[in-house]
A and B are shown apart, each in its own frame.
Chain A
Amino acid sequence: MKHLLSTKDLSLHNAIRILDTAEEMSAVGDREVKKLPALRGRTVVNLFFEDSTRTRISFEAAAKRLSADVINFAAKGSSVSKGESLKDTAQTLSAMGADAVVIRHWASGAPHRLAATDWIDAGVINAGDGTHEHPTQALLDAFTMRRHWAKLSGTPSEGADLKGMRVAIAGDVLHSRVARSNVWLLRTLGAEVTLVAPPTLLPIGVEKWPCAVSYDLDETLARGVDAVMMLRVQGERMNASFFPSTREYSRRWGFDDNRLRALDSLGMKDTIIMHPGPMNRGLEISAAAADSPRSTVLAQVRNGVSVRMAALYLLLSGDTRETAATPVLATAGTAHSTKESI
């Protein structure tokens, strides 16, 4: 893997490889010294053209646990806000010796531009681009689901996919990079995805996506789901006629207390509730749902660091072969003695 730009072009093999590597990385987080020397001397730049403290610190923690040097480059307050182009910024980072660029951008496709041009030679990780994709979010969601799914079947997560798992993704699909990345990845992993949204918040062309589409959250829940992922409703949608009012949205498409109770009454005791954060409590998700034992919101955040460690490791470890997972476990087990082997 040279870049991680989208989940649409991520093979099943590579998806499983990232998830398995993340499992190994996760073990590092449980240790007293939460650090591996794997990327010592490598430079990771977090290039953020859009504010996202959560994603930025998650990548920062991931890179630091792998001993990489981290440079945070926020476009606001930098030369970018004075009109410097993406090309010049990329060439500047290249001249400074960046090995990997983690890019968050408000424009769909900006990471693809970095990867496709000769502006910079570094590996590129898409940390969310416009309304296109957010592949590490989908990978951490899949990681969370896979652990849950494996636990239910009493089998290990490693090497497993999500065959047979029923996932509902509800909310503003039209503007959601999280929904897009999840649809492609979950399909690759064998899950059955249903998108639930008001018709105004589904893209024209969604009928060609490898998933089911519903306008009715209750009906979708009643048919049975193993995971429900609620998407954040952005403030700027609220006055653009996508829906009449936040209250109507919440009644029809929010995961409220009634729907939380419905999971119990429908006998779905193992169904989890997911949210990529940050949440609008009381709008797309009720406080009781967010705080219930079904909620995986904090596990998702925790898993995010492991998944991003895995992505950085696989991009920067120089392993571009399409082979089975590299022996990171050995590295994790003997963190201070395996530097030479990396």
Chain B
Amino acid sequence: MAGNTGTYLIQGASILGGEPADLLIRDGIIAEIGTGLSPEGQDGDVTVIDAAGLVALPGMVDVHTHLREPGREDAETVETGTRAAALGGYTAVHAMANSTPVADTAGVVEQVYTLGRAAGWVDVRPVGAVTVGLAGEQLAELGAMADSRARVRMFSDDGICVHDPVLMRRALEYVKAFDGVVAQHAQEPRLTAGAQMNEGEVSAVLGLTGWPAVAEESIIARDVLLAQHVGSRLHVCHVSTAGSVEIIRWAKERGINVTAEVTPHHLLLTDDLVRSYDPVFKVNPPLRTDADVQALRAGLADGTIDVVGTDHAPHPSEHKECEWAQAAMGMTGLETALSVVQHTMIETGLMTWADFARVTSAAAAQIGRLEDQGRPLEAGEPANILLVDPAARWTVDPFRMATMGRNSPFKGRELPGKVVATFFKGHPTVLDGELNTPYPHAAVEAGAA
């Protein structure tokens, strides 16, 4: 026995948007998948879930989440952030390293990992900082973080670019020793000093300092060449420009081992929204133009961009209720990602639900080297499963979210798709669209012992 997480029979779910089937979940795995499965004759209690009209997907995996703990528990905690993740359909998140203290030692990444297990809503996989204190001067103890209980594989100074080319080269080389990946926040710092928004037609009118596309593209171009030169693995965080998509496409054609992510907000919103000067639209990298949005969608659809990453960045209200220039950068995203991707990619005909599963789960788990996540919905696989009602419509209300952050740029928008249930290791963390209970790690392990 792998422990007791109950037995669930999901009846009539459309598997990846295809034919309806029944899934029997027992002891944390998908025990059986087929048609006409019956609760009769199963051992113990079976909870039956009528999933007619719902789409079954592998639990989503976020490659880019800010959980803020330790240090900024007024913005988010591991508990609240992972509740939001479960409600958004996630079964794993990568917690970015820019906490206080920075996640640049085995001690801090183990702390975050432990908090994640105690919360029990999703797998929390800490991201380790590339450099000590995110200062961009000296490599952090990447090996120690990789060997820790947190088994860190993704390293990033996210929020700050590893702009020193020698340091970036060394980081890329070094992580090869433990199959790690460097996730780069591509932002040339000198070209973006004081930057407030995308540099272009709108910034010219608004008088806000521009964040030019070339500041992202030039770093990506350099980094893919470095990754090629040293034969390592590069991940590009939150790609935001059409030019970046072109460079990554070029790199992939040359066989360079690069993966890339796009955020839901960059798939939908443009810098026109900044005309309101409402800092809820302030984010880094900034919202770009409609041409960029279209290129990002095309890049995600054709596989140039591998994954959707939320860059979920909750902030306390006082950091947004102020002048634009004073405001913090970032938006919440965990509880809206599925809906925004359905709206921008599926309802536009650019992707299927099977593609959705690839970009929100399988490819993300592969980048983070998460063995138990992003698996196919097949018998014998871990039961990390999401049930979506694709016909549902809802209006975004940040005050009804589980995240502590109220800074959703989608506030007031009507979006499609609702998470009905999330199964994490065979346990329903979300049922009927509401939080259920966390995965009982301790009880399960005691049962297994």
Residues of A near any B CB (own CB < 8 A): 8, 85-87, 105-110, 112-113, 116-117, 129-133, 177, 180, 203-206, 208-209
Contacts and interface: CB of A to CB of B under 8 A. Distances in A.
Contacts of A105: 323
Contacts of A206: 204
Given A85-B321, A87-B321, A112-B276, A205 B205 contact: yes
Nearest to A5: B277
Contacts of B210: 203-204
Nearest to B202: A205
Given A132-B206, A203-B203, A203-B204, A108 B325 contact: yes
B200 A205 contact: yes
Contacts of A109: 206, 208, 277, 323-325
Nearest to B208: A108
B200 A204 contact: yes
A205 B207 contact: no
B201 A208 contact: yes
7 contacts: A86-B326, A130-B325, A133-B207, A203-B210, A205-B203, A205-B204, A209-B205
A95 to B, nearest CB: 17
A133 B322 CA distance: 19
A116 B277 contact: yes
A131 B204 CA distance: 9
Interface of B: 196, 199-210, 212, 276-278, 318, 321-326
Contact of A204 (B204, B276, B324): B204
B160 to A, nearest CB: 23
B205 to A, nearest CB: 7
Contacts of B199: 204-205
A108 B209 CA distance: 9
Contacts of A117: 321
Given A105-B323, A131-B208, 7 more contacts: A108-B208, A113-B323, A116-B278, A132-B206, A133-B207, A177-B207, A208-B201
Contact of B206 (A108, A113, A209): A108
A113 B277 contact: yes
A132 B323 CA distance: 13
A110 B323 contact: yes
A17 B37 CA distance: 77
A206 B200 CA distance: 9
Contacts of B212: 204
Nearest to B317: A87
A113 B206 CA distance: 13
B92 to A, nearest CB: 37
B55 to A, nearest CB: 39
A205 B200 CA distance: 5
A180 B324 contact: no
A87 B322 contact: yes
A131 B325 CA distance: 12
Contacts of B201: 205, 208
Nearest to A176: B207
B207 A180 contact: yes
B207 to A, nearest CB: 3
Contact of B204 (A107, A129, A133, A209): A209
B328 to A, nearest CB: 13
A204 B323 contact: no
